Chain A
């Protein structure tokens, strides 16, 4: 009978939520539309700036040297005559001003160090690109001169390069891909688990109270705990749908978007093994249950839908703090106690999963402590929900 009641309430809640535009926007619009949109916008604007910085590099030159001819050979470089080059640099019309002192080439020929003055604007990304380009050309030119000087002295290049260090990256392609995701996905996952259920949780208790439907529901011959269980499952489902939507959305962004390229390894989920996948699913389930319990608790305390919304912002905060704190850390650097702290434990385990190596002790600590937090949250939510008058508007 209990299961039948839970199923009846759950079916109704899902039908009701399915028809609620607010719930869908909260659950899917943010992860599926807004996140990719922001990433594409961000990625595109970065690549546009980079493209423009490469394609057109206007420089002003005072003085002359063969270095200038070498610089002018770089694609995109234009040598511009300007009446007021400092002003033009400030205004962004010039990317850099190169001042070559008199006797520059003579100093080089004499075997001395010749000084070169380059003015640039560090607040302008394109000017910084021009500085890098000038630096590379100066280094290349310097190398040529050094080679000549060494030849004249009867020495080889090895004389000034006694050690040739070869750095090898031991991270596998999977781990590189996972490492990139381990920084970002736990944040996305936890925040969407927390935010995905908010609209549903708020509607299912505070909303029902406000509309007077909760009072009618409580007059039916059913246990309050059965109602709460169904509502908990409904909120968890919305949370998890939102988390799945986020995962799909982030995967698409990384595999197709402009941020996915560059030095990063090709995107794939190859770092997931059946065991780590299982840990990930259990972590998602437990975090969804914790957030759902917490949100229903706040929704029960709230006297109106609006009051509920205010309380719910605290849940997002609770999700974001651990995610941001652990975001830059590698799983090997995360201290043991984080695996038993609420929300931190989920974030830390997610990071291990995305690094492709889950420590069994950490999994045990994280899942065990999460189970305790789920039990505590649900017990509190149930107590509040069964409290006399909890379902009444006034």
Chain B
């Protein structure tokens, strides 16, 4: 397995933390906690080695469109770039104020 750490400048903010996905075949889990220091810091742990460039491209594209500050922890079990992008969008959706948090209800 391989661990990647990336940082992006972030101007947006989110209302709440979010947890989506599962560390299951072809999928990933994301833990997101909003931050205030204008940075999106990302840690990726993946079972599949050697895809640094692909990860960077997927995350570059996402944070170019959605620069939301906070800490993102991605626990990956071989998700495709499409699945990764969908899960990241799901994080944005579930971190909106209107969304009722499932954890800790």
User: Are A and B co-members of a single complex?
Assistant: no
